[in-house]
A and B are shown apart, each in its own frame.
Chain A
Amino acid sequence: MSVPTLMAPAADTAPPTRQARGRISGVTGAFWLFVGPFVVGLVMFVYLPIVWSVVLSFSRAQNTVTPGDWVGLQNYIDLLRPGPFLDSLITFTIFAALIVPLTFVLSLGLALLLNGVRVMRAFFRSVYFLPTACSYVVASLIWKLSIFNGVRFGLANTVLSWFGAENIAWLATTTPPWYWLVIVTVRLWLQIGFYMILFLAGLQRISPELYEAAAVDGARNAWQTFRYITFPQLRATSVAVLLLLLINAYQAFDEFFNLLGNSSFARPPLVYLYYTAQFNQDFGHGTAGAVILALLIMIVTLAQGRIFGFGRAE
């Protein structure tokens, strides 16, 4: 009785080697069948252009995207001299200094407010998240034409007139630089909801037992609870949010382009590079600037990750 039962597995074990081989090649084939087109697309439309840009940045490429006239680091030296590219980096720095902390604080504040209520929580969450679905171009046009249009019928000037204040040309005034208010508010409106959702997810992960323990240990008010429980527990979320905010600030383009165009007083790096490459057809300097910007983002991201310990176990 036992022989057939013992023989049966033995008979099964010999062919499986061939079957497994066939199955592996089948799985490999299926893998490449599904992944292959995406890999080809990725290589053709992402990695090849990156390599092409790097090569082009070492060439004098005026009105052409074919690398040929080799100039070494000249394009980089030109850009890093005091001039419009460095000015655009200063513009970015001011923008990041305003938008990163403001978005962080406001989205955290909204998440805390929302986390503390029970009734209509889903409604408020949807309302705050709704602008994330809106296009930057549409939002910029609304800000430029309806809210901060500079005429006395504009919404912002109408509100100012209630208090007897003069009209302000929001986007044309450089002293004081009112255009920052327009640029920062449009981006705040567009992105607060998204980061609020991230914070809300982080808040809902915090165990209620920690708050009970804090209350038992004598945490008297909401500030103490926030200072010693909530904020430390949100460390991973906070670091991720800061990282995303900074990278997004580096990539600022749409609102600056739609609100200010090619104005020299507030031109972030991407707008400057767009005009250099697209309108002046100077692809050598354009790609050199793009490489510098990519390196800058990489260095800042790595440094931030190292300092704040992004991805490190808590």
Chain B
Amino acid sequence: MSVPRTSAETPAVAETESGQRQARVQRQHRRVTPGRVVVTVLRYIALIISAVLFLLPFYLIVRNALSKDTTSRLPAGRSSRSNCTGRTSASCSPIQV
């Protein structure tokens, strides 16, 4: 007598357990934990650093386009040396390449 009742109830019980487990997992997914916040912050830091690296050459392109020839190869904020008076940068520094 107990066999048919068990076989009828088992799938329902399993389904309920599975549903509960799924709901628990979904709740865990939605929950904001300190670890999750740290991961998100790290993710954004990596993205921002990468974005700066990707944008840097564009900055150099624009800066060089708006600079005189003697200063176009110098890093930002550094003025050309006093002996750099020619039109080309050859007199400024010994280019090794």
Residues of A within 8 A of B (CB): 110, 113-114, 116-117, 124, 127-128, 130-131, 134, 138-139, 142-147, 149-155, 158, 167, 169-172, 189, 193, 212, 215-216
Which residue of B26, B28, B43 is within 8 Å of A113 (Cβ)?
B43
- Assuming the contacts A147-B60, A172-B97, asked whether A116 and B43 have C-beta atoms less than 8 A apart, the reply is yes
Which B-chain residue is minimally distant from A139 (CB atoms)?
A: B57
Chain B residues lying within 8 Å of A139, measured Cβ to Cβ, are 57
Q: Most chain-A CB neighbours within 10 Å: which of B26, B47, B75, B93?
A: B47
Chain B residues lying within 8 Å of A144, measured Cβ to Cβ, are 97
Query: In the bound complex, what is the Cα–Cα distance between A294 and B24 (angstroms)?
Result: 57
CB distance from A248 to the nearest CB of B (A): 19
CB distance from A89 to the nearest CB of B (A): 26
- Assuming the contacts A127-B55, A153-B78, asked whether A145 and B73 have C-beta atoms less than 8 A apart, the reply is yes
Interface bits B18-29 vs A (CB < 8 Å: 1, else 0): 100110011011
- Assuming the contacts A130-B54, A216-B22, asked whether A169 and B96 have C-beta atoms less than 8 A apart, the reply is yes
Which residue of A114, A150, A151, A155 is within 8 Å of B47 (Cβ)?
A114
Does more than half of chain B's interface fall in helix, strand or loop, or is it mixed?
helix
Assess the B96–A117 pair: CB atoms within 8 A.
no
Query: In the bound complex, what is the Cα–Cα distance between A145 and B95 (angstroms)?
Result: 10
Chain B residues lying within 8 Å of A155, measured Cβ to Cβ, are 60, 75
* B64 contacts A by Cβ under 8 Å: yes
Which residue of B18, B29, B57, B93 is within 8 Å of A153 (Cβ)?
B93
Q: How many B residues have CB within 8 A of the partner chain? A: 32
Which residue of B25, B50, B60, B61 is within 8 Å of A215 (Cβ)?
B25
Chain A residues lying within 8 Å of B40, measured Cβ to Cβ, are 116-117
Which A-chain residue is minimally distant from B51 (CB atoms)?
A: A127
Q: Which 10 A-B pairs have the closest CB atoms?
A: A169-B96, A150-B96, A150-B97, A215-B25, A151-B93, A171-B97, A127-B51, A146-B60, A153-B74, A158-B75
Does more than half of chain A's interface fall in helix, strand or loop, or is it mixed?
helix
Residues of B within 8 A of A (CB): 18, 21-22, 25-26, 28-29, 40, 43-44, 46-47, 50-51, 54-55, 57-58, 60-61, 64, 72-75, 78, 92-97
Query: In the bound complex, what is the Cα–Cα distance between A92 and B64 (angstroms)?
Result: 32
Chain B residues lying within 8 Å of A172, measured Cβ to Cβ, are 96-97
Chain B residues lying within 8 Å of A131, measured Cβ to Cβ, are 54, 57
CB distance from B38 to the nearest CB of A (A): 13
Which A-chain residue is minimally distant from B52 (CB atoms)?
A: A127
CB distance from A136 to the nearest CB of B (A): 12
Query: In the bound complex, what is the Cα–Cα distance between A146 and B22 (angstroms)?
Result: 55
CB distance from A213 to the nearest CB of B (A): 9
Query: In the bound complex, what is the Cα–Cα distance between A110 and B51 (angstroms)?
Result: 10
Chain A residues lying within 8 Å of B64, measured Cβ to Cβ, are 142, 145-146
